[in-house]
Amino acid sequence: MYKIFEGFTKAFPKQDPEQPPNSMFAFCRYYTRGFEKPLLLMAALSTIVAIVEVSLFGMMGKLVDWLGSSNPETFWADNSSTLIFYGVLLLIVMPLLVVAHSLIQHQTLLGNYPMSIRWLAHRYLLKQSLSFYQDDFAGRIATKVMQTSLSVRETVMKTLDVFVYVSVYFTSIIVLLAQADYRLMLPMLVWLLAYIGIQIYFVPKLKKVSSEQADARSTMTGRIVDSYTNIATVKLFSHSKRETQYAEEGMEGFLDTVYRQMRLVTGFNVSVEIVNYVLVFAIATISIVLWMDSAVSVGAIAIAISLALRLNGMSMWIMWEVGALFENLGTTVDGMSTLSKPVDIQDKKGAEPIKVEKGGIKFDDVSFHYGENKGVISNLSLDIKPGEKVGLVGRSGAGKSTLVNLLLRFHDVEGGKIQIDGQTISDVTQDSLRSKIGMVTQDTSLLHRSIRDNILYGNPDASEEELIAATTQAHAHEFIETLTDPFGNVGYDAQVGERGVKLSGGQRQRIAISRVLLKDAPILVLDEATSHSIQRLRQPSKNRSIN
């Protein structure tokens, strides 16, 4: 049965991710697609449960009156049908409602809902430009994805479940008390106004500090991850204390938001407790006065005081739920700033895959200044013939790497155009463009996976023979065979560690060269530091355009 309910929704929706809206309602609505029916069903079940639960309180009041006025010998005969009805309601209907609600909440929604958000957000972020990741911590971006998926789930589910339940519950209480005596509902209405006033005062403040806390948490995590990612540099320069201070600043910023949040929570908690006890006192006092005037029965008093005590307990739960709701709203607002950013570099509508037959490259009057009013590349024209090997020489910062990034379309040119075999690269799909270009960089980072996975990144469909041929040609096969990792994996199955830190710089370069050889792209771009290693690649690259 669990699997049936788990299969009602999809954790990995197939639709292509789009730019999420940047308004709260539309943002949550975007990530709720495919989950509308179970969410509405959950809200409907919460409504029914609230009505039934309040009706049981009414039944208890009637039972008190019946017991006080009925003859024990005729009690069952006079009230058997009503008692059986409420017995069935209590023993059969309520458990079935609770089971259905729990299955939808826990099996259908709590797991699949946030996972689908992470899935869509991750796929959308993979479309972002290189500069998007260069301008932020990788750990901070990942934290935003994880936090926002949970905050959207909690925001939507608490609104449709908890607050629907509470609204229906309180409305039912007012109706029930009004039926006994309208004066019994007056303390409830006054309590409600006071409770709403407390919420209005504290909740916006909690929302604001929660948004700041979410950002501070992401920054703190980003700083810690940055230190771990670059641990070799930290140790090389003996800056453990400096990194400790760097992380401490992030932690202090986060802790400051925690202190401010807890001060608000304390005030919130005390205020609600005070109005709760005033409510119980007022209900009890008015009930006794009305009973002394013979205006209400003992059963009505039992209902009123029982419901007041029930509200006393519920109000604290509601307070925390409201606080959690606005904390999640703040987290969602913070996440929207990252997850809703438009993609800078996008394929044109109707863009076709590039077709590279010869590999001729042409820079036609290209200008690019990183969007700033300073010269980097201005009116550059360059024509690289198919199969031609061209070396770019210049001082650091002259724009060599920028030219490569423009060719790969990591940035769009600000003037002119770049063509490959007569096709303007901005008119073709980015994936097809980059699939035709093999690139070996000086700073070679590898994925935290096995040697095999890293090399097959160049061509996932390559056979084992093709894999070994590429590593042999790159003179990597020999040292790969000797590799081991702490998990007992050897050779091509050994893990390389984060960014390939377990390998030497030369070994990482040879892995990167193997990957490019396996990719077998018609255009090859090589960093100047790899030139010595590339001398052995002359034969396989003789028909490629090489930079």
Q: Are residues 413 and 469 in the same domain?
A: yes
Strand order across the 437-440 sheet: 437-440, 523-526, 545-546
Q: What pLDDT, on a 0 to 100 scale, did the predictor assign at position 536? A: 53
In a domain, 17, yes or no: yes
pLDDT at 541: 47
How far apart CA 271 and CA 266 sit, in angstroms, is 9
86 shares a domain with 46 = yes
Q: What is the pLDDT of residue 363?
A: 93
Q: At what angle do helices 298-339 and 24-31 cross, to 10 degrees?
A: 90
Residue 369 is assigned to a structural domain of this protein: yes
Q: In terms of residues, how long is the chain?
A: 547
Statement to judge: residues 322 and 221 lie in one domain = yes
Residue 2 lies in a domain: no
Note whether residue 504 is domain-resident. yes
SS3 (DSSP) at 297: coil
Q: Establish if 351 belongs to a structural domain.
A: no
If asked whether residues 301 and 418 sit together in one domain, one would say no
Whether 147 and 102 share a structural domain: yes
Return the pLDDT at 534: 56
Question: Can you state the angle between helices 505-519 and 464-473, rounded to 10 degrees?
Answer: 130
Classify residue 4: in a domain, yes or no: no
What tokens appear for 30 in the block?
């975007």
Whole-angstrom Cα distance, residue 477 to residue 491? Answer: 9
Q: Structure tokens of 545?
A: 């355009």
- Note the pLDDT of residue 543: 46
Instruction: Write the pLDDT tens digit of every residue in 342-365.
Output: 998 889 988 999 999 888 999 999
- The neighbour count for residue 305, using CB atoms within 10 Å, is 16
Q: Within this chain, do residues 328 and 370 fall inside the same structural domain, yes or no?
A: no
Task: For residues 387 and 281, state if they share a domain.
Answer: no
DSSP bridge pairs for 450 = 495
**For 13, which DSSP code?**
-
pLDDT at position 336 is: 92
Three-class HEC string of 203-226: HHHHHHHHHHHHHHHHHHHHHHHH
Clarify whether residues 262 and 368 are in a common domain. Answer: no
Q: Which domain holds residue 371?
A: 361-546
Look at the chain and report how many structural domains it folds into: 2
Closest CA to 356 of 441, 460, 429: 429
CATH code of 490's domain: 3.40.50.300
H helix runs in 230-297, sequence order: 231-236, 240-292
Q: Which residues pair with 403 in a beta bridge?
A: none
Looking at residue 478, what is its pLDDT? 92
Q: Are residues 279 and 384 in the same domain?
A: no
Single pTM value for the model: 0.77
Domain contains 344 = no
Say if 350 falls within a structural domain: no
Residues 327 and 438 in one domain: no
pLDDT digits (tens, 9 = 90+) for 461-518: 999 999 999 999 999 999 999 999 888 899 999 998 776 777 888 888 899 899 999 9
Helices and strands, counts by H and E, the chain = 20, 7
Give the pLDDT of residue 544: 52
| 370 lies in the same domain as 311 | no
Q: Are residues 531 and 435 in the same domain?
A: yes
Residue-wise pLDDT tens digits, 8-45: 899 999 888 899 999 999 999 999 999 999 999 999 99
At 362 the pLDDT is: 94
Straight-line distance from the first to the last Cα atom of the chain, in angstroms, rounded to the nearest whole number:
60
What distance in Å separates the CA atoms of residue 30 and residue 155, rounded to the nearest whole number? 13
Question: What 3-state DSSP class applies to 39?
Answer: helix
pLDDT-flagged residues of the chain (< 70): 65, 69, 373-375, 499, 528-547
Q: Residue 212: give its domain's CATH number.
A: 1.20.1560.10
